Chain A
Amino acid sequence: METLSSSKRLTVIIMAFVFVGAAALTLFDLRLASSQTVTLVAKRSENAIPLDDPSADVWDKGAPIQVPLSGQNTVPPRGGGEGTVTARALHYDGKLYIRMEWSDATKDDSTSMQNEFTDAAAVQFPVEHGESVPAFCMGNPDAPVNIWQWKAAWQTGTDASVLDVQEAYPNIAVDFYPFEDEPEFYPAAASGNIVVRADRTSAADNLLAGSFGTLTAAEDQMVAGMGAWDDGKWRVVFSRDLQVGAEYAQFAEGDSTNVAFAVWNGANAERDGMKSVSQFLTLEVSPEIATGGGGLSGGTIGLFVVVGLVVVAGLATVGSYLLYTRRQTA
């Protein structure tokens, strides 16, 4: 006859073994779990990937994933909402390319007027990939994130088509601007605010953050970005060398890291923290060649998946029924 004390003794022994095992794993910075999140796979492209054509055919060879977005509701200013972004990734000639695609009924690519806000998109990676994934909202103080942010207005700016005050407000009356060329009267520019940078060569910025309120432009601006709006959809391509300085996210064939996405809708006056965000997913840089397509259509494959699940459900049901009837007769 088992007593409570013997049971407790056994429990203590079991827990001691569990603790020792867990401590050993933790000391080696290991987690006894494998990620089961959806994976964005960046395969090697055999063809060059044109940055200026986000709709290029080469992207058909990259496997897409559809990522659910939700409003950023953790810190003010909150905003954004339900949505979906379709992401594809490829790598070519030592560069990683990521394309985001999402629906947006309006093309908002100007911030020339006070009530205009730009459409934008961003991808986020942990600077150091390890067992501990940073908070998906701008990382942690001890686990920073590397963010690539593209803004439609910046692209307009790099296209040199940004409107000046007189163009945005043609009927505005100004007597005169005192000290028009003095930097003291342009405090944002003088303090290096990335939003008003005049020397922008790319519509995408390379940023670092280690929690809310710490977003900073990185010293090295090496991220290229280009977007195109067509028929109610934005397609934006980001590109960067796989290997760069250690203070930024690193990529290598055969390695995996995490990636998260964010989208701003200018028409909804979204800016800063007012955005739609995703959770962290897995990004794998694969040495395999991206062949895309396949012999079967998407519909056929989908049918296979659905039928497969139905068959499996049927088998499980039959098995359970047999189990049940057997028990009844036993």
Chain B
Amino acid sequence: MLVPTVQRIFFNYQLPRLRVSETLLRQVVQGLIVAALLEIVLLRLATRIGVHVPRSELAADGLQAASFVGSLAFNSASILAIGLTVLLLLMMTMRVRDSVARFGLVLISGALMISLMMSLVTGRAAWDGAFGLAATLLVLLLGVTLMARKDVSTGPRAAVALIVGAYLCYQYYSLSYITYRLLDYAALPPLGIDVLRWGEVLVVLAGGAVFWAWGRPRWRLAGRLGIAAVVGFVVIVGLSSLTPSSTTSILALWTTGMSFFLPSPVYLVALALYLVTVVACFRDKDAFWLGAGLLLLLVAGYMPEATYHHLLVILGVGFLAGAFHVVEEATERAPGTISMHTRH
């Protein structure tokens, strides 16, 4: 009795098609990007610059105000990230026609959202672990989905593989500790730090691969101003390690999660290539989702410190993998539905 019912619900039930306007989706994602960048500048960057500011009352008030607005931006970004993730999962689920794949996706999606809520409410290790595992599976699924597509060339495949690989490395480090904790085992997980270092190598390689995949074909679109801005930023980051000025905080910001065990120029070149690609994608009207995906991944960082950052990784990889693009077919290009043409 139960089995046929489950089968009917998950395997045979024709899900209603979700129609979401691409314009609306873009605007919401733009809102997320603005909130995420505000959070970085006002919360993360301001706290680092703050230590260099003379300790006057005015400066203290200014930093406090920046911190408040930054917190507001953080919460806004987190709410938007949760909402967009739910939407992404819904769209993917409705798109999938294969019963087994759909069942798996429903399972992972349900696990992700339930564990997210429970982690937020209880903060217990078991829920953190469940959330981390579900997020890992989802990112892996999105990455593999892209790599399995015949219409995707080697460049994007390599870039996404490196990004997903780096995330898996960090998640191995993080989840192995949670697993040991749940098993009440007082030992070090094998290869924890080694895997973490490998992940950092993948992050640096991903900078080059991202440029090769999406930046190289459209780098001219970045324009002189865009390239000058990127070069200027990277030069500031580079010089900041030589000067005692507050710009060092920018370096500290970018290196959060990195142990910097490779030579500094390697990181700078990777960052420059990555940023040029982001700028070029945003200036290409057909590559908005690529730009958005890459930017969200940059904001999330190599070591996602909070649930919000993991959601940014899911969305970022989802955008790169063209997850929303897939939905377009499910909605049969109805008026007002998503129309995304991601160049792969």
Contacts and interface: CB of A to CB of B under 8 A. Distances in A.
A135 interface: yes
A322 B101 contact: yes
B144 A317 contact: yes
Interface residues of A, number: 91
A22 B79 contact: yes
Please indicate which of the listed interface residues A21, A23, A135 has the most CB atoms of chain B within 10 Å of its own CB: A135
Interface stretch (B211-219, B223-231, B252-260, B278-286): B252-260
Interface residues of B, number: 99
Given A31-B71, A323-B98, A18 B241 contact: no
B44 to A, nearest CB: 9
B194 to A, nearest CB: 10
A38 B101 contact: no
A33 B261 contact: no
A102 B258 CA distance: 19
Interface in A272-307: 279, 290-294, 296, 298-299, 301-302, 304-306
Given A35-B123, A313-B140, A326-B97, A140 B50 contact: yes
Contact of A69 (B52, B125, B172, B259): B259
Given A23-B72, A132-B67, A323 B183 contact: no
Contacts of A320: 101, 141, 144-145, 148
Contact of A86 (B27, B168, B188, B248): B188
A33 B306 contact: yes
B251 to A, nearest CB: 7
Given A32-B82, A322-B98, 13 more contacts: A21-B79, A36-B132, A37-B303, A38-B173, A38-B174, A63-B180, A70-B255, A137-B51, A137-B252, A302-B189, A305-B176, A317-B144, A326-B98
8 contacts: A18-B80, A25-B75, A62-B186, A66-B188, A211-B50, A293-B186, A305-B172, A319-B105
Interface of A: 1-2, 4, 7-8, 10-11, 14-15, 18-19, 21-23, 25-26, 29-39, 41, 60-66, 68-71, 73-76, 78, 81-82, 84, 86, 88, 131-132, 134-135, 137-138, 140-142, 211-212, 256, 279, 290-294, 296, 298-299, 301-302, 304-306, 309, 312-313, 315-317, 319-327, 330
